[in-house]
Amino acid sequence: SWPLYLAVILTLLFGALQIHLLNVALRSHDQLIVVPAFAVSLEAFNILGGMIVFKDGASLSKVSMVLFICCVSISFLGVGLIVYGLRRQRIVSTCSGPPTPTGSA
């Protein structure tokens, strides 16, 4: 049937586009920033897609939905803090310059 063929074609097309854009980002930015940002955005869209397509949120109570959103947010915030710390550490080590010899010759 045509919806199946359309889904397969779109999946292949968007998969190739995703890899291309990841490579473009890695060429111009540090992998310590790109890879976690890519992983978080991929996971966010997977969660959103699952909730839309499979109606995953329909069976959750309001409390469960709030807790789910809080847990996902904490997870994403944790990745953001790790990336921030790594980036800050890289900036500090880059700004300090190469080590200078301290011994007398």
Residue 9 lies in a domain: no
Our count of domains for the chain comes to: 1
pLDDT exceeds cutoff 60 at 7: yes
Residue 19 lies in a domain: no
Residue of 9, 11, 6, 33 whose CA lies nearest to 22: 33
pLDDT in tens, 26-61: 999 889 889 998 999 999 999 999 998 899 888 899
Cα–Cα distances (Å) from 15 to 21, 33, 43, 65, 70, in that order, read 10, 21, 14, 29, 29
Residue 37 lies in a domain: yes
What is the value of pTM for the model shown? 0.72
Domain of 62 in residue numbering reads as 30-95
pLDDT exceeds cutoff 80 at 6: yes
Mark out the alpha helices in the chain (DSSP H runs).
2-28, 31-53, 62-95
Residue 65 lies in a domain: yes
